[in-house]
Chains A and B, each alone.
Chain A
Amino acid sequence: AQSVTQLDSHVSVSEGTPVLLRCNYSSSYSPSLFWYVQHPNKGLQLLLKYTSAATLVKGINGFEAEFKKSETSFHLTKPSAHMSDAAEYFCVVSEATGFQKLVFGTGTRLLVSP
């Protein structure tokens, strides 16, 4: 069975400082991994995805994530936070064996202060 653990429920950073949101996964097969962002009162939007190609994945708005199989991690980073990055972020795992049953992490709320 697959699972995903987001290690921090809240992360607070100052504008202009780096962002690190941590995600560990468990999967019996070669997983596909995603990060989604949810702004207040909005639906979820895809930030980036890993599908067994390059291990360093670049997404929208300057975010990137690195797939590390040895550590079963898929941490999300951004070099410099912007106020508009304040949102909830979800790490998602899917076993690419046909039907895409996705398992969502519990989310990390990113707070950005001026």
Chain B
Amino acid sequence: NAGVTQTPKFRILKIGQSMTLQCTQDMNHNYMYWYRQDPGMGLKLIYYSVGAGITDKGEVPNGYNVSRSTTEDFPLRLELAAPSQTSVYFCATQPGQVLSGANVLTFGAGSRLTVL
């Protein structure tokens, strides 16, 4: 049981290049999220998905795109990399919608991206 797997772990991009960060989960969780973590800023939500075929913007979606064709996969695409996208990116999952209480997020190990 791998949980949440992110690839690559590290990547250096040149300005204007594009790339996809992969996220795969084997827990059959409905909800998936992409966060970015900048020093001293906590985690900011980029995009999220509540199920296959459904995605929505989070707090900082500009410069990113996502898709969710299967329950397992939630790739994050950077089309024209900019230095402001230098960050650590985390994918997370959650079992599903609840009306009360709280479901816990399960995080991947992160992908460190540098744009030069």
Q: Report whether A107 and B40 are in contact in the complex, using a CB–CB cutoff of 8 Å.
A: yes
Pick the contact of A46: B45, B99, B104 (CB < 8 A): B104
**Interface size of B by Cβ–Cβ distance < 8 Å?**
26
A34 to B44, CA, bound (A): 16
User: When chains A and B are docked, how far (Å) is the Cα of A9 from the Cα of B40?
Assistant: 8
B105 at the interface (CB under 8 A from A): yes
Residues of B within 8 A of A98 (CB): 97-99
A13 lies within 8 A of chain B by Cβ = no
Evaluate contact between A43 and B102: CB separation under 8 angstroms.
no
A94: interface (CB < 8 Å): yes
> Given the complex, which residues of A lie within 8 Å of B44, measured CB to CB?
104
Q: How far is the CA of A101 from the CA of B94 in the complex (A)?
A: 11
Residues of A within 8 A of B40 (CB): 9, 106-107
Q: B101 and A44: CB pair below 8 A?
A: no
Selected interface stretch from B65-73, B74-82, B107-115: B107-115
- Kindly list chain B residues whose C-beta atoms are within 8 Å of the C-beta of A36: 105
Query: Assuming A43-B90, A45-B107, is B42 touching A51 (CB within 8 A)?
Result: no
| Chain A positions within 8 Å of B109 at CB level | 41-43
Main secondary structure of the interface of A (DSSP, over half): loop
**Alpha-carbon separation in the docked complex, A105 to B43 (Å):** 8
Number of residue pairs spanning A and B whose beta carbons lie under 8 angstroms apart:
63
In the complex, whether B100 has a CB less than 8 A from a CB of chain A is yes
Residue B41 at the chain A interface, CB threshold 8 Å = yes
Q: Are B104 and A43 in contact (CB under 8 A)?
A: no
Within B12-67, the residues touching A (CB, 8 Å) are 31, 35, 40-45, 50
Q: List, sorted by A's number, 29 A–B pairs whose CB atoms are closer than 8 Å.
A: A9-B40, A32-B101, A32-B102, A34-B104, A43-B107, A43-B109, A44-B43, A44-B107, A46-B104, A46-B105, A49-B104, A51-B101, A52-B101, A90-B42, A96-B101, A98-B97, A98-B98, A98-B99, A99-B50, A99-B97, A100-B31, A100-B94, A100-B98, A102-B105, A104-B42, A104-B43, A106-B40, A106-B41, A107-B40
Residues of A within 8 A of B (CB): 9, 32, 34, 36, 41-46, 49, 51-52, 90, 94, 96, 98-102, 104-107
